[in-house]
Structure 1
Amino acid sequence: MSAFAKWLTQACQEAGLTAEQYGTRVRILAQCHFLTEEVECRPDTDGNLRFWWSWGKPIADRHDHTRLLTADEVDDLVVAIRHVVTIPVRRRP
């Protein structure tokens, strides 16, 4: 699981995100450092390795939310994570 976390950390860094590995967890900081997300690699109830959002849901494909991503679908995981940590912040008028 730590190897998958390392792989995801490196892929996030290559995609321009600041990512740090802590065992089976990966902390990703947006470029503005306003948004942070921590994902964890662990098995689901069927024993399949998945990355999980900090709010306890497995990461799904951005275009098909019914399809859960496996731990080795790193490119799709990075896209989903980037989508979460780069949400534009609304400023009050």
Structure 2
Amino acid sequence: MSAFAKWLAQACQEAGMRAEQYGAKVRIIASSHFLTEEVECRSDSDGDLRWWWSWGKPIAAGNDSARILTPDEVDDLVDAIARVVAVPIRRRP
């Protein structure tokens, strides 16, 4: 699980996000420093490894919310995480 976390942290960094690995967890900090998310690689009830949001839900594919992502689907994971932490900040007029 730590190897998957390291892989994900590196992929997030390559995508321009600040990511720190803590064992099987990865903390992703948006460039604006307003949004931070921590995801964790752990088994689901069937014993399959999955990535989990900090609020306890498994991470699903952005284009198919019924498809839960596996730890191997790093590109899709980075996209899903970026949608959460890289929300553009609205500027006041």
TM-score normalised to structure 1 length: 0.94
**Aligned counterpart, 2:56:** 56
CA distance in 1, matches of 2:92, 2:60: 31
Structure 1 residue 86 displacement after superposition: 1.1
**Aligned counterpart, 1:44:** 44
Aligned-pair identity in percent equals: 73
**Aligned counterpart, 1:79:** 79
Question: Secondary structure at 2:66's aligned position in 1?
Answer: coil
CA distance in 2, matches of 1:12, 1:6: 10
CA distance in 1, matches of 2:57, 2:89: 23
Partner amino acid, structure 2, of 1:53? W
CA distance in 1, matches of 2:7, 2:45: 23
CA distance in 1, matches of 2:44, 2:92: 40
Deviations 1:9-35 (A, max 9, x none): 000001110000000000000010110
CA distance in 1, matches of 2:90, 2:46: 40
CA distance in 2, matches of 1:36, 1:92: 22
Q: Which runs of 5+ in 2 are unaligned?
A: none
Structure 1 residue 91 displacement after superposition: 5.8
CA distance in 2, matches of 1:47, 1:53: 17
CA distance in 2, matches of 1:51, 1:91: 33
Structure having the larger proportion of residues in strand:
2
**Aligned counterpart, 1:17:** 17
TM-score normalised to structure 2 length: 0.94
Q: What is the Cα-based RMSD across aligned positions, in Å?
A: 1.2
